[in-house]
A and B are shown apart, each in its own frame.
Chain A
Amino acid sequence: MPAVSMTVNGKPATADVEPRTLLVQFLRENLRLTGTHVGCDTSQCGACVVHVDGKAVKSCTMLAIQAEGANVTTIEGLANGSQLHPMQEAFREHHGLQCGFCTPGMIMTAVDMVNRKGNELDDHTIREELEGNICRCTGYHNIVKAIAAGARSMGTGGARKAAE
């Protein structure tokens, strides 16, 4: 089995994997980082979104071996110790989740959105950008509110971009 090495949440991670191992399997099963979820496994739902070299990707649609040498951030890497990342805090504050299954992907997508589009996000932009993330519970309203608020508080300091 080929070896794969990458940096995950700031720490080196190396393993021998079958080539068909998906990045999400590597994260969940080899590294036991189970915050990244598998909702569909068909590239539709976004529950598996992580950042690879600073960009949001669906980790169910990437081979672990494609991430060789990459810098990967998962939901576990956002908080700064016990201090939540501003986007996590905003989801809590604005009830941006119910069952929480979609939430890790929503938050990773939201942080990527802020990195690309800035701290002032209107509802239309947020909804367009959430095209690849599906939530079965909330009806999205509070997710949109949480992202707008989280984006703003990322701009005013806080634990900005904690581990990235």
Chain B
Amino acid sequence: MYAFTYHRATGLRQAGNMLGKLEDSKILAGGQTLLPTMKQRLASPANLIDLGKVDGLKGIELKGRSLVIGAMTTHSEVATSPVVQQAIPALAELASMIGDPAVRHMGTLGGSIANNDPNSDYPAALVGLGATVITTKRRIEADAFFTGLFETALEADEIITKVSFPVPKKAAYMKFRNPASRFALVGVFVAKRSSEIRVAVTGAGASGVFRVPAFEEALKKRFSPKSLEGLSIPATGLNSDIHGSAEYRAHLVGVMARRAVAKAG
């Protein structure tokens, strides 16, 4: 890892100012992605701004019909929270499937979505539930937040503070794990709200998370795995690598979507 200057932020405004002023600076959250990438020298920021000691960025709260989770809340806190388990059990389960226990003790919701790895789990939940990302500057709908491979709508000096998830009537996440990395080879998040049905896919898309309108339409008529029978998505635009071809991933999207609908009940 190349040398860098470390800054321990004590407040959000100060962190935002440093991020804007210091050249080549990056936020450090749980470090579970950033530190490995720095060791591999895929990233070499000159300045790291640690959010670890900033108050108010952690926490889980049910506010009316929405579950609001702070950006620095760890995967393990989301997975084991009785509030999350009660309001959106699919979200608690998704968090419990990220990496391994040690990674879940450090890795955070904000870090995961800011990174937007195409095989990561949270993007599927945010898009599947129609969540809103709240930053130091504005509110961003999940559909507009994830803009491409490792890309988001975040500006250079913008910090995620929390995410607001509308509580659905039903939801489920089905993940087909890459057995080596534990990331999603394909993951499908399905949610039904009074007005809307969403099907969000992670792991498969060459530019990250995406929705499947054809599946959503079919499920609107009847929310049942049967409604998806015979439906599939084209392999164009899907990832193809040593872990699975685009055709295989396209097939898995159908299988995981049907299983998710069955699980949501």
Task: Give residues in A with beta carbon < 8 Å to B.
Answer: 2, 18-20, 22, 41-43, 46, 49, 55-58, 61-63, 65-66, 68, 109, 112-113, 116, 129, 131-133
Contacts and interface: CB of A to CB of B under 8 A. Distances in A.
Given A61-B31, A62-B106, A18 B3 contact: yes
DSSP class of B's interface residues: helix, strand, loop or mixed?
mixed
A41 B99 CA distance: 16
Contacts of A112: 101
Contact of B48 (A19, A46, A49, A61): A19
Interface string B33-46: 00110011000000
Interface of B: 1-6, 8, 28, 31-32, 35-36, 39-40, 48, 50, 52, 76, 99-103, 105-106, 182
| Residue from A43, A109, A129 having most chain B Cβ neighbours under 10 A | A43
Contacts of A66: 28, 31, 50, 52
Contact of B103 (A18, A43, A63, A68): A43
Given A56-B105, A62-B35, A20 B99 contact: no
B39 A131 contact: no
Shortest Cβ-Cβ A-B pairs, 4 listed: A132-B100, A19-B6, A131-B100, A55-B105
A46 B2 contact: no
Contacts of B103: 43, 58, 61, 132
A1 to B, nearest CB: 10
A2 B8 CA distance: 11
A133 B102 CA distance: 10
A61 B100 contact: no
B111 to A, nearest CB: 12
A125 to B, nearest CB: 11
A112 B105 CA distance: 11
Given A49-B102, A55-B105, A66-B52, A61 B4 contact: no
B5 A19 contact: yes
| Residue from B40, B76, B100 having most chain A Cβ neighbours under 10 A | B100
B31 A20 contact: no
A15 B4 CA distance: 18
Nearest to A105: B102
B4 A19 contact: yes
A107 to B, nearest CB: 14
Given A56-B101, A62-B106, A66-B31, A41 B6 contact: no
| Residue from B8, B35, B52 having most chain A Cβ neighbours under 10 A | B35
A65 B31 CA distance: 12
Contacts of B31: 61-63, 66
8 contacts: A20-B2, A43-B32, A56-B102, A57-B105, A63-B28, A63-B31, A66-B31, A131-B101
A68 B100 contact: no
A44 B116 CA distance: 20
